[in-house]
C-alpha cells in the first residue's frame, strides 16, 4: 500500500467476490464504499461478496431499478445503492447522507455503485474502482484517506489472506 492506495489484480469473478467477502467481514458499521467502473466491471459481484462476508443469506442483486436495496439480517446492515440511471440532481434527491450520518438509519455498510454521479460524496469513504485488464481479469484500486480506513485496507489486503483466497 502506498499513500492510502492499494491495487489488486483479480483474475476472475471468484477473486472479486473474495475481495468483497474480506471487506464484508472486516468493515465496521458506518463504512461507505464508493464503487466505480464501467458496465460489467464487477461492482455488483463485489457487493455480492460483501454480503457473503456480512453473513447475509438473501441473494444480493443489483438495485438498478429499485435504486436502494437494504439487507438488515447480517452482522451489520448492508445498504446497496445503484446510481446508474440517475443524473446528479436526482442523486441529491435520494438524501443518501442519511445513511452515513446514521441519524435515522442503523449504521451499516453502504456500498454505492456508480458513485461518480454523486455531487458531494462523503469525504470519509473508501473509493474502489474496478476496471478490466488485458489479461481478462479485473483490477481493483482501493483508496482511503483516513488513518482508520488505511489500517482497514491493510487488514483486507496486506496480511496474505486475500492472496490465499484468490
Domain ranges in the chain are 5-139
Yes or no: say if 91 and 117 are a contact pair by the CB < 8 Å rule.
yes
For residues 115-140, give the mean pLDDT.
Answer: 90
Assigned C-alpha cell, 86: 440517475
- pLDDT tens profile 79-96: 999 988 888 778 777 777
Model confidence, pTM: 0.89
CA 145, CA 162: separation in Å to the nearest integer? 21
The 10 Å Cβ neighbour count of residue 87 is 9
pLDDT of res. 159: 53
pLDDT top residue among 60 and 62: 60
CA 42, CA 46: separation in Å to the nearest integer? 6
Q: Given CA atoms 97, 63, 7, 29 in this order, what sign does their dihedral have? A: positive
The matching CATH number, chosen from 2.60.120.590, 3.40.50.300, 3.40.50.170, 3.30.365.10, for 5-139 is 3.40.50.300
In the block, residue with C-alpha cell 454521479: 117
Amino acid at each position: 500500500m502506498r499513500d492510502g492506495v492499494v491495487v489488486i489484480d483479480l483474475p476472475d469473478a471468484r477473486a472479486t467476490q473474495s475481495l468483497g467477502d474480506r471487506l464484508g467481514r472486516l468493515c465496521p458499521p458506518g463504512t461507505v464504499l464508493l464503487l466505480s467502473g464501467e458496465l460489467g466491471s464487477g461492482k455488483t459481484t463485489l457487493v455480492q461478496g460483501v454480503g457473503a462476508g456480512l453473513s447475509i443469506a438473501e441473494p444480493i442483486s443489483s438495485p438498478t431499478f429499485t435504486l436502494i436495496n437494504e439487507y438488515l439480517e447480517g452482522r451489520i446492515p448492508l445498504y446497496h445503492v445503484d446510481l446508474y440511471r440517475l443524473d446528479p440532481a436526482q442523486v441529491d434527491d435520494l438524501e443518501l447522507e442519511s445513511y452515513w450520518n446514521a441519524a435515522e438509519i442503523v449504521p451499516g455498510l453502504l456500498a454505492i455503485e456508480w458513485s461518480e454521479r454523486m455531487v458531494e460524496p462523503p469525504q470519509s469513504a473508501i473509493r474502489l474502482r474496478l476496471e478490466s485488464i488485458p489479461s481478462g481479469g479485473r483490477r481493483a484500486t482501493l483508496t482511503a484517506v483516513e488513518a482508520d480506513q488505511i489500517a482497514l485496507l491493510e487488514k483486507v489486503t496486506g496480511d496474505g489472506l486475500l492472496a490465499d483466497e484468490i
